[in-house]
């Protein structure tokens, strides 16, 4: 009997520890003010775009006298992110902004937030079809298409390419891959895919796959990545190998790193998914929902193509924001 009660006690301690850990995963916060409390649950702060967006949200919140934002790191884990959503509900936040790791895994927890009467916003990528929730996002199909349209003209005949995917079930990952299939591969049947793997938006994972592909192939003409972080990882592997001078590489996000790679002629193009524009729209949306000006908002930001022709404009954007010194 004592052993049974000891086991129960240990289980209870584990639950308390997990919930306490959720509170401890707070990464940053805007200035605490009297007014509305917003929990921003980031997909993974180790992801360069997710970190950019989280920082932009905190900076944008400082412009609002009635809103303070606490940022929590989902660490690319569905279990962690879902626990953070539940913790935010328990802690009676006025609004919860969710950047999903896997939209379908987070769906029931976003629905719990709505059911609890908490303003719920999904972003990057939105979780569609949640009654009572709002969203701020970009169109991932178009983000990939502007790159694919360029690649149709640039990638040489009979080229060998590698493809780096985001996490399956993620709306942006799935739609960008769908776009590349329809807008590039369907139009260029001469192109051979010699490597295709899920690298989960992660630079290190992309590097590992690229190392394997370089060893297995006599040449690789292009890297087709569903985000900049993975494209940058693949390019890191071949940066000192003259055999890969002129390799083409495509991404999405328009991160500071990608813009610098494009400026240096190492990366071909990306499409901007401006964290600054998303953050501005997220705080404006939060304010309108919290103050009762609007009951539901669903909006998309633009996704212009960035190449060597216009990259200076976007490097200047990052410099003004302090992302490039």
Read off the pLDDT of residues 214-251 as tens digits, 9 standing for 90 and up.
Answer: 999 999 999 999 999 999 999 999 999 999 999 999 99
The whole-number average pLDDT for the span 4-19 is: 35
CA distance linking residue 201 with residue 215, whole number of Å: 22
Taking the model in full, what pTM does it have? 0.81
Phi-psi region of 254 (alpha: psi -120 to 50; beta: other; left: phi over 0): left
The whole-number average pLDDT for the span 107-115 is: 98
Query: Would you give the end-to-end CA distance of the chain in angstroms?
Result: 64
Could you tell me which of 192, 210, 102 has the C-alpha nearest to residue 156?
A: 192
- Checking DSSP bridges between strand 67-73 and strand 26-29, what pairing results, if any? antiparallel
pLDDT tens-digit profile of 87-103? 999 999 999 999 999 88
Query: For the residues of 59-91, what is the DSSP string, one character each?
Result: HHHTT-TTEEEEEEE-TT-HHHHHHHHHHHHHT
- Checking DSSP bridges between strand 160-165 and strand 192-198, what pairing results, if any? parallel
Burial class of residue 254 in the structure, from the number of CB atoms within 10 Å of its CB (0-12 exposed, 13-18 middle, 19+ buried): buried
- The DSSP bridge partners found for residue 298 are 135
Q: Mind listing the domains of the chain with CATH numbers?
A: 2-124+276-294 (3.40.50.2300), 140-271 (3.40.50.2300)
CA distance linking residue 302 with residue 143, whole number of Å: 9
The whole-number average pLDDT for the span 30-36 is: 75
Confidence of residue 32 (pLDDT cuts 50, 70, 90): low
């Amino acid at each position: 009997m004592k052993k049974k009660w000891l086991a129960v006690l240990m289980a209870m301690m584990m639950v308390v520890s997990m919930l306490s850990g959720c509170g401890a995963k707070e990464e940053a916060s805007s200035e605490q003010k009297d007014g509305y409390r917003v929990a921003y649950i980031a997909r993974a702060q180790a992801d360069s775009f997710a970190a950019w967006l989280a920082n932009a949200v905190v900076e944008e919140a400082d412009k609002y006298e009635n809103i303070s934002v606490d940022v929590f790191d989902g660490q690319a884990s569905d279990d962690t992110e879902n626990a953070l959503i539940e913790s935010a509900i328990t802690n009676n936040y006025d609004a919860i902004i969710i950047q999903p790791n896997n939209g379908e895994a987070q769906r029931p927890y976003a629905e719990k937030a709505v059911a609890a009467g908490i303003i719920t916003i999904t972003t990057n990528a939105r979780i569609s079809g949640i009654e009572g929730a709002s969203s701020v996002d970009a169109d991932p199909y178009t983000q990939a298409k502007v790159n694919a349209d360029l690649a149709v003209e640039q990638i040489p005949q009979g080229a060998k390419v590698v493809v780096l995917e985001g996490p399956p079930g993620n709306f942006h990952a799935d739609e960008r891959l769908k776009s590349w299939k329809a807008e590039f591969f369907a139009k260029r049947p001469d192109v051979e895919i010699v490597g295709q793997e899920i690298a989960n938006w992660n630079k290190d994972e992309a590097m590992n796959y690229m190392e394997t592909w370089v060893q297995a192939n006599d040449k690789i003409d292009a890297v087709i990545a569903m985000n900049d972080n993975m494209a940058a990882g693949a390019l890191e592997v071949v940066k000192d190998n003259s055999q890969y001078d002129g390799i083409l590489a495509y991404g999405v996000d328009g991160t500071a790193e990608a813009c610098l790679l494009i400026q240096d002629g190492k990366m071909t193009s990306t499409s901007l998914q401006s964290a600054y524009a998303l953050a501005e729209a997220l705080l404006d949306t939060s304010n309108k929902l919290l103050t009762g000006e609007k009951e539901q908002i669903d909006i998309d930001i633009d996704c212009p193509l960035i190449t060597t022709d216009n990259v200076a404009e976007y490097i200047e954007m990052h410099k003004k924001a302090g992302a490039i010194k």
